Amino acid sequence: MKVDDVKVVGVLGAGTMGNGIVQVCAMAGYEVIMRDIEQSFLDRGMNAIKKSLSKFVSKGKMTEDEMNAVLDRIKPTLDMKDLESADLVIEAVVEKMDVKKAVFKELNEIVKNQDAIFASNTSTLSITEMSAVTRKPENFVGIHFMNPVPLMKGVEIVRGLLTSDETLNFAVEFVKKIGKEPVVCKDSAGFISNRILMPWINEGIYVLYEGIATKEEIDKGMRLFTNVPMGPLELADLIGLDICLAAIETLHRELGDKYRPCPLLKQMVSAGLLGRKTGRGFYEY
Q: Which of 52, 120, 123, 131 is catalytic?
A: 123
Check 31, 91, 156, 234 and give the catalytic one: 156
The string of DSSP letters for 234-270 reads HHHHHH-HHHHHHHHHHHHHHH-GGGPPPHHHHHHHH
Sign of the CA dihedral with 48 first, then 49, 50, and 51 last = positive
Predicted confidence (pLDDT) per residue in 6-32, tens digit:
999 999 999 999 999 999 999 999 999
Determine whether 156 is an active site residue.
Answer: yes
Residue 195, CB half-sphere, CA atoms under 13 Å: how many? 13
Domain boundaries, the chain: 8-186, 194-277
Residue-wise pLDDT tens digits, 262-282: 999 999 999 999 999 999 999
Active site residue 188: no
Asked if 252 is an active-site residue, the reply is no
Report the distance separating Cα 261 and Cα 268, nearest Å. Answer: 12
Q: What is the DSSP letter of 81?
A: G
Residue 267: how many other CB atoms lie within 10 Å: 11
Q: Do 22 and 46 meet the contact criterion of CB atoms below 8 Å apart?
A: no
Architecture of domain 8-186 in CATH? 3-Layer(aba) Sandwich (3.40)
- Binding positions are 13-18, 36, 95, 100, 123, 147, 277
Q: How far apart are CA 69 and CA 162, in angstroms?
A: 38
Task: Please report which residue ranges of the chain form alpha helices under DSSP H.
Answer: 16-27, 39-58, 64-72, 97-110, 127-131, 165-177, 193-209, 215-226, 232-239, 241-255, 263-270
Residue 280 has what DSSP assignment? Answer: B
Cis? peptide before 148, omega within 30° of 0 = yes
Condensed to tens digits (0 to 9), the pLDDT of residues 32-55 reads 999 999 999 999 999 999 999 999
Per CATH, 8-186 and 194-277 having the same topology is answered no
Which one of the listed residues 31, 121, 126, 144 is annotated catalytic? 144
Q: What does the pLDDT look like over 185-222, one tens digit per residue?
A: 999 999 999 999 999 999 999 999 999 999 999 999 99
Question: Taking the model in full, what pTM does it have?
Answer: 0.91
Is residue 58 annotated as a catalytic residue, yes or no? no
pLDDT in tens, 69-116: 999 999 999 999 999 999 999 999 999 999 999 999 999 999 999 999
Residues annotated in the binding site for NAD(+), as ranges?
A: 13-18, 36, 95, 100, 123, 147, 277
Mean pLDDT of 119-127: 95
Contact 88, 116 (CB under 8 A): yes
Start-to-end Cα distance in the chain: 45
Q: Which of 52, 194, 202, 234 is an active site residue?
A: 194
Q: What is the mean pLDDT of the chain?
A: 97
How wide is the angle at C-alpha 126 spanned by C-alphas 120 and 130, nearest 5°?
60
Give CA–CA dist 11/22, Å, rounded.
7
Give the span between the Cα atoms of 88 and 139, in whole angstroms: 10
- Contact of 4 with 177, CB cutoff 8 Å: no
* pLDDT score recorded for residue 1: 84
**194-277, what's its fold?**
N-(1-d-carboxylethyl)-l-norvaline Dehydrogenase; domain 2 (1.10.1040)
All residues at 6 or more sequence positions from 4 whose CB lies less than 8 Å from its CB, including other chains: none
